[in-house]
Amino acid sequence: MKSTLKKSLFLALMLLTANVFAQEIKRDSTKVETLDEVLIKSIRVDADSPITHSNVSKEELQKRNLGQDVPTLLNYLPSVVTTSDAGAGVGYSGIRVRGTDATRVNVTINGIPYNDPESQGTFWVNLGDFASSIESLQLQRGVGTSTNGSGAFGASINILTDAISDKANGEVSNSFGSYNTRKHTVKLSTGLLNNHFEISGRFSKLYSDGYIDRAFTDLKSYFLQGVYVDDNTLIKAVIFGNKEKTYQSWFGVTAEELEADRQQNFYTYDNQTDNYWQDHYQLHWNEKLNTNWSTNIGLNYTKGRGYFEQYEDDTDDIALYNGIIEASNMDSDGVPITDLIRRRWLDNNFYVVNANATYKNNKMQLISGISYNNYSGDHFGEVIWARQFSEMGNIRDRYYEGDATKTDLSVFSKLNYSFNNKFKGFLDLQGRFVNYKTDGLQSNRSEFVTDSNFGFFNPKIGLTYKYSDLNSFYLSYAIANREPNRDDFKNDITSPETLNDIELGWRHNSDKLSLNTNLYYMLYNNQLVLTGAFDDVGSPIRETSGKSYRLGLEVDATIKLSKYFSIRPNIAISDNKNIEFVKSIDNTAASIIDNTNISFSPNIIGGNMITYSYNKNLQIALLSKYVGKQYLNNIDDENSILESYFVNDFNINYTFNPNKIFKGITLTGLVNNILNEKYSSNGADYGGGFIYFYPQATTNFLLGATLKF
């Protein structure tokens, strides 16, 4: 009843807002600029907004774009920690921001949600070489602005894909490096035809053996775009997809195994692989009605399907396979056992409709919109081979089946208002309404049935004060609510999380110095924190921590030391605590443990870039990253720690312009971990002393050449 009432009130608010401002619509035939970044205007913020953020341009990404995943390319941003299962930044990679894991980092591509609706995670392995198709990227830390899809609970990453190119062009890019890593990319664009149409595309193949033994990654991806543009209209049709095959390496190694051989892999079956195909179809229509009004409509369909294959040795859980297998071999206790190979499948469909309208004048900008997502997913398992049996059903008989649907409706209004030349206000109101429904069996053949509804009100308010041309200050307060994910429901967690986020910042911009300083306090109720363990499909297991907080200071700067040298240091110092954590230890009765550190939340994260630019054609950079120690659980267990590490990379770019054939040739070199640090960026704690680590590559290199014509 409350959810229905909230939904009705917000829809009425949207209609009233539209009606009031519709009275001002008058057609204006005045020529205006083309509309490109309108695609993400409703979820991005401007430089003077009271939201803590970092912008990354295409040029910055391309300096190190030699095949590594997007999280690895963002590693040097403030408060960011990245991980790689295979150890070399290619394949299954993850990102944490302010200690929050990937399930609470909201990712959008052209305003379309990318996070998986059920797990809420982001699988970058399904975006092979996507950095080659990114025009710009904004990382918002904290709650940020209202966005589409699963709510941001620590950060959001808003990606804008390739912009329109006026002139026909093409490029061929190839890179090679350690662990047999190689990337091959071809990009083409027709340029604007008849001043209105452009067709462009990219095709990529990426492969790496990985630092971990047999942890290979094999990706094939594409990106196609068709554009119609005139003075007031931009229509974009975007299609992109990826086919991936990766050898599993998410189990990690023990401390003893780490000491004996850092690169060993737990799995021995030669096809212990993850196989997934994902295709995205987007259509965007931006219309500028006059100097005050513009509209944006976005449509999306995503098709995903795939499986991971596992070999089970002498399994005695025959009942799991529901009569498909009747084993004839027995162990010493007379229990039927068999070897088998199984596949666990996911087949899903994801539909999105986004629509918003923007009104602006010289004092204000108002954006109101609606986003509706519909997800359906089938989960099922197959047995494709078994040994030591007396009977077996048909190949690919399903031993479990379950389905899930999720709908997500959000309505929002965002107002930026300039009171005078000193003060600028920000107001963001969002209503979000979620239904999640499941039926059928889990992989262990237990029943999994749920039908849950959530209604959230997520307000945000902020103020920016421009003290002078060089200095400004901002203050913001935001409330965010978020539903549990599929694995939480499986673990009987059904209550949503709530976050109150306060941000206080100072920005300074001068010719020699750009400085951003931010103090934040994030107070949670029922925060879902990582236990340190993973389930049987490699997903992190979470638990409710009751009341908890994150208090931190972030500072980042760009300092021009001379005509040739600049540095870009950043540091984040934080205190991350579970206030009253309830936990059962060693099978004892659950008790309250006061003020424990939140898992995977280092108190210090630092980064720096020292750059030498002789001219626009030559750039040399030393990149450094320090991550303090992290607890792998939430009880301050000193035996369950991820040690601190300090890693340095060396990057060089040189471009020259030949007179014939090519417009430009860019040579790129990247030496990762030049000091040969032996470190692990991730870990797991299953309790009872079962602790595992994910070692990262020692010194390694990548070399690449890009030919533009």
Q: What is the DSSP track for 639-699?
A: TSEE--EEEEEEEEEEEE--SSS-SEEEEEEEEESTT----EEEEEE-STT-EEEEE---S
Query: In the numeric block, which tokens belong to residue 664?
Result: 């430009």
Query: In the numeric block, which tokens belong to residue 327?
Result: 């084993």
Supply the pLDDT for residue 629.
Answer: 97
Give the chain's count of helices (H) and strands (E).
5, 40
Query: In the numeric block, which tokens belong to residue 114?
Result: 């990318």
Buried b (16+ CB within 10 A) or exposed e, 100-131: bbbbbbbbbbbbbbbbbbbbbbbbbbbbbbbb
At position 103, the amino acid (one-letter code) is T
Please name which of 135, 234, 235, 233 lies closest in space to residue 187, comparing C-alpha atoms. Answer: 135
Supply the pLDDT for residue 26.
Answer: 35
Supply the pLDDT for residue 261.
Answer: 95
Supply the pLDDT for residue 9.
Answer: 42
Supply the pLDDT for residue 582.
Answer: 81
Measured distance CA(295)–CA(232) in Å, rounded: 11
At position 381, the amino acid (one-letter code) is G
Pair type for strands 217-229 and 197-208: antiparallel
User: What are the Cα distances from residue 198, in Å, to 141, 225, 239, 285?
Assistant: 35, 8, 14, 15
Contact 71, 94 (CB under 8 A): yes
Measured distance CA(174)–CA(207) in Å, rounded: 12
Model-level pTM? 0.92
- Helix (H) or strand (E) holding 255, with range, is helix 255-260
User: What are the Cα distances from residue 707, in Å, to 220, 455, 493, 668?
Assistant: 21, 52, 53, 12
Q: Which residue is it, tokens 């240091």? A: 569
Which residues pair with residue 705 across a beta bridge?
A: 174, 667
Contact 34, 164 (CB under 8 A): yes
Whether the CA torsion 23, 28, 33, 34 is positive or negative: it is positive
Supply the pLDDT for residue 391.
Answer: 61
H helices of 383-490, where? 486-490
Measured distance CA(429)–CA(415) in Å, rounded: 9
> In 10 A of CB 494, how many CB atoms?
12
Write the CB contacts of 194 (distance below 8 Å, at least 6 apart in sequence): none
Contact 112, 352 (CB under 8 A): yes
Supply the pLDDT for residue 394.
Answer: 76
Run means of pLDDT, 10 residues per run, the chain, 709 residues:
44 40 36 56 87 94 96 96 96 94 93 94 94 95 87 89 93 97 98 95 98 97 96 94 94 92 92 97 94 95 96 80 72 76 96 96 94 96 80 78 96 96 96 96 92 96 97 97 94 94 97 96 95 85 92 97 96 95 67 87 97 92 98 93 97 91 94 97 92 97 96
Contact 3, 11 (CB under 8 A): no
Measured distance CA(574)–CA(614) in Å, rounded: 37
Please name which of 278, 343, 276, 358 lies closest in space to residue 312, comparing C-alpha atoms. Answer: 343
Domains of the chain, residue spans? 2-708
Which CATH fold would you assign to the domain 2-708?
Maltoporin; Chain A (2.40.170)
Supply the pLDDT for residue 589.
Answer: 58
- Helix (H) or strand (E) holding 19, with range, is helix 2-22
- Helix (H) or strand (E) holding 575, with range, is strand 570-583
Query: In the numeric block, which tokens belong to residue 622?
Result: 């030393």
CA torsion, ordered 357, 360, 364, 367, to nearest 10 deg: 10
| 3-state DSSP assignment of residue 425 | strand
Measured distance CA(591)–CA(593) in Å, rounded: 6
Query: In the numeric block, which tokens belong to residue 654?
Result: 């040189």
Measured distance CA(174)–CA(176) in Å, rounded: 7
DSSP one-letter string for 486-545 = HHHHHTT--PPEEEEEEEEEEEEE-SSEEEEEEEEEEEEES-EEEEEEE-TTSPEEEEE-
Measured distance CA(280)–CA(45) in Å, rounded: 25
Pair type for strands 105-109 and 154-161: parallel
Radius of gyration, CA atoms only, the chain: 26
Whether the CA torsion 40, 43, 44, 46 is positive or negative: it is positive
Measured distance CA(27)–CA(29) in Å, rounded: 7
> What are the backbone dihedrals phi and psi of residue 488, each rounded to the nearest 5 degrees, phi first?
-65, -45
Whether the CA torsion 670, 675, 677, 682 is positive or negative: it is negative
Please name which of 675, 616, 667, 628 lies closest in space to residue 649, comparing C-alpha atoms. Answer: 675
Please name which of 119, 8, 142, 12 lies closest in space to residue 455, comparing C-alpha atoms. Answer: 8
Q: CA angle 108-185-157, nearest 5°?
A: 15
Pair type for strands 565-567 and 540-544: unpaired
